[in-house]
């Protein structure tokens, strides 16, 4: 299978056709080998228009959702980004293409180890990863220019808002266990601006400031 061609096709038919227009995001999606972030038996499906299982009842998100959330974050090359929910590490790699440094947190140790192995192999050396409850954020490394939560929360975790830099952007799905609204929150000098951007469906964000176990 010609995976480079598959990526070109994915970008044209799933992303550009649906309005993703940030050229840096599109370039990252054309470059990162998504098929290397799933198990071998699923590699030929990796560029399909859907999420795929990655074990532990978790998923690698649909390509469009990855692009949509990344575009919302308006990442520039000097940005420091926090990601909650490393999963397969695919979204992490997209962020690592765009930002100066990516801090990523995953609560399932086995997923984190495998994701970090892939990221190291692909030479994403600007990624720092840890296993913990990401709803607490990573206060020692904050504030962050952008924060992305790749699991559905019952409400916006307050520590994540507090770890946004002035001008920083937070993308987080908020809703019930079955459907959420993707929220974009921007921190201004004296307030937070919260904009709902559309519906989505993610696995649960489990933690102190998320869902119970
Ligand atoms: N971005 C990932 C990718 O590209 O493969 C997909 C992430 S998957 C939809 C959501 C991930 O969030 C799961 O791996 C899950 O274990 C993780 N997660 C859920 N609650 C978490 C928490 N409180 N802290 C860190 N990770 C969490």
- 8 A C-beta contact, residue 112 and residue 120: no
Region 95-124 average pLDDT: 98
Distance from C-alpha of 81 to C-alpha of 46, rounded to nearest angstrom: 25
Q: Contact 139/163 with Cβ under 8 angstroms? A: yes
pLDDT on residue 114:
98
CA 57, CA 107: separation in Å to the nearest integer?
Answer: 13
Inter-residue contact 37 to 150 (CB < 8 Å): no
Q: Percentage of the chain surpassing pLDDT 90?
A: 99
Residue 145 is inside which H or E element, if any?
Answer: strand 144-149
**Mean of pLDDT over the chain:** 98
Q: Which residues are known catalytic residues?
A: 61
pTM: 0.98
Other CB atoms within 10 Å distance of the CB of residue 179: 12
Answer for the pair 87, 106: CB distance below 8 angstroms, yes or no. Answer: yes
Query: Using CA atoms, how far apart are residues 180 and 173, in angstroms rounded to an integer?
Result: 5
- Can you give the residue ranges of every domain in the chain? 50-200
Atom of ligand 1 nearest to the CA of 108: 16
pLDDT in tens, 3-55: 999 999 999 999 999 999 999 999 999 999 999 999 999 999 999 999 999 99
Q: How far is the CA of 187 from the centre of ligand 1 (A)?
A: 24
| For range 68-76, the mean pLDDT | 98
**Cβ of 207 below 6 Å from ligand 1:** yes
Residue 194 beta carbon below 6 angstroms from any ligand 1 atom: no
User: Tens of pLDDT along 181-212?
Assistant: 999 999 999 999 999 999 999 999 999 999 99
**DSSP three-state, residue 182:** strand
Indicate whether residue 203 lines ligand 1 (CB < 6 A). Answer: yes
| 75 pLDDT above the threshold of 90 | yes
Arithmetic mean of pLDDT, 152-175: 98
Q: Probe ligand 1: pick from 37, 73, 85, 155, max atoms within 8 Å of CB?
A: 85
- Which of the listed CATH numbers 3.30.230.10, 3.40.50.300, 3.40.50.150, 3.10.580.10 matches domain 50-200? 3.40.50.150
Percentage of the chain lying above the pLDDT 70 cut: 100
What is the pLDDT at residue 134?
A: 98
Cβ-based burial of 158 (10 A; exposed 0-12, middle 13-18, buried ≥19) = exposed
> Does the pLDDT value for residue 213 go beyond 90?
no
């Amino acid at each position: 299978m010609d995976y480079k061609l598959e990526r070109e096709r994915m970008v044209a038919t799933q992303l550009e056709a649906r309005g993703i227009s940030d050229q840096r995001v599109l370039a990252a999606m054309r470059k990162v080998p998504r098929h290397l972030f799933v198990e071998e038996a699923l590699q030929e499906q990796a560029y399909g228009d859907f999420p795929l299982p990655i074990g532990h009842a978790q998923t690698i998100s649909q390509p469009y959702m990855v692009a949509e959330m990344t575009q919302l974050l308006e990442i520039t090359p000097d940005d420091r980004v926090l990601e909650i929910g490393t999963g397969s590490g695919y979204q992490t790699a997209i962020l690592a293409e765009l930002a100066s440094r990516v801090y990523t947190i995953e609560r399932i140790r086995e997923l984190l180890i495998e994701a970090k192995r892939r990221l190291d192999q692909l030479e994403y050396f600007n990624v720092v990863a840890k296993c913990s409850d990401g709803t607490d954020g990573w206060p020692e490394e904050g504030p962050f220019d952008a924060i992305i939560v790749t699991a559905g929360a019952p409400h916006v975790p307050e520590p994540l808002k507090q770890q946004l830099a002035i001008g920083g952007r937070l993308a987080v799905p908020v809703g019930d266990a079955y459907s959420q609204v993707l929220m974009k929150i921007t921190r201004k000098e004296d307030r937070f601006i919260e904009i709902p951007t559309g519906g989505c469906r993610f696995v649960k964000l489990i933690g102190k400031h998320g869902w119970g176990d």
